[in-house]
Amino acid sequence: MTMDDILLMAYVDGELTPREREDVEKTISVSPEIAERLARFAASALRYQHAFAHQKLPPVPERLTLEIEQMSRAYSGPPESADTARGSATGPGWFARLRSHLPLRFALNLSLPGLAMTFAAGALSCALVLRYATQGLRGDRGAGASALHTAAASVSPWVAAAVNYQQLYTRDTVAFDALTPEVASQIVAQIHRDDGVPIRVPDLRPAGLTFTRIQRLRFHNRPLVQIVYLPKTGLPVALCVMKDEKPDAGMTHEHVENMNVLMWRRAKLSYALIASLDDDQLLAIGKQIAKGQTDETVGQAAPKGNAAG
């Protein structure tokens, strides 16, 4: 039996027949290379379904359900045999670990597979939600659509994208992918060296926010740094930073979708603090960051005047 990746992933997902499982186990008992490949796949079989199992989610809109059913019928073909189905690799377990085919990659592999899988889930969710939202806007020219366009037009495109990304997070998924201090420090060093963004990670524990991770993302091929915190209760909070050659600008406050966004620009860096916190709490935290009144959680101090604040 040829031990290709599809077969090994099917073994990890429990999709093989007893005879096939026996063949795989015989092979890995005599092949360290196959055993190592299998161990990597097993390590990437993350329990995302378990993480979402206890979430209180709103009901799926009926129209979205119908859209998905129509898409499923449109792309469904004739019934396949078990071998063919496994070869086509459309199972959810296989998709969840197909990180090598993602169009957008995180710049540091140390945090994979957790970060890559979070993005894969987010990318799929975005594709479905954006299609549904776009069609809804085309069919509705009322006040709701106008309000959505007004909110989107009031912030920079990168901020709007960061808000949409932030809305995909839950407490469980963020806590699940929390970085160790060592990995976080390496990411900060890479951001300084490779992206040229003199970022520092503010310590917001006095404000009730615990640092969980920092990510190197890209927006229109430009580096976008996202620092994520968890409050004691409620949804995650993100501080996002991008290079910006425009002059310094004071704080502005916007409501985008269901998120509060505080924005400012300083020393050729633009900042967006994104949260579901109330206005006063968000403003107090933003002022501490902007004025440099916080300690540093990880990484090295940025050059004077360029701190995340």
Every domain of the chain and the residues it spans:
1-44, 139-290
pLDDT band at 3 (very low <50, low <70, confident <90, very high): low
pLDDT band at 154 (very low <50, low <70, confident <90, very high): confident
| Cβ–Cβ under 8 Å, residues 151 and 256 | yes
Q: Which fold has domain 139-290?
A: Phosphorylase Kinase; domain 1 (3.30.200)
pLDDT band at 104 (very low <50, low <70, confident <90, very high): very low
Q: Which of 10-19, 65-74, 135-144, 232-241 has the highest mean pLDDT?
A: 232-241
203 vs 87: which has the higher pLDDT = 203
pLDDT band at 53 (very low <50, low <70, confident <90, very high): confident
Q: Is the pLDDT of residue 153 over 80?
A: no
Question: Which pLDDT score, from 0 to 100, does residue 75 have?
Answer: 57
Q: Is the pLDDT of residue 300 over 50?
A: no
What's the whole-number mean pLDDT along residues 242-271?
Answer: 92
- The Cα–Cα gap between 188 and 194 comes to 10
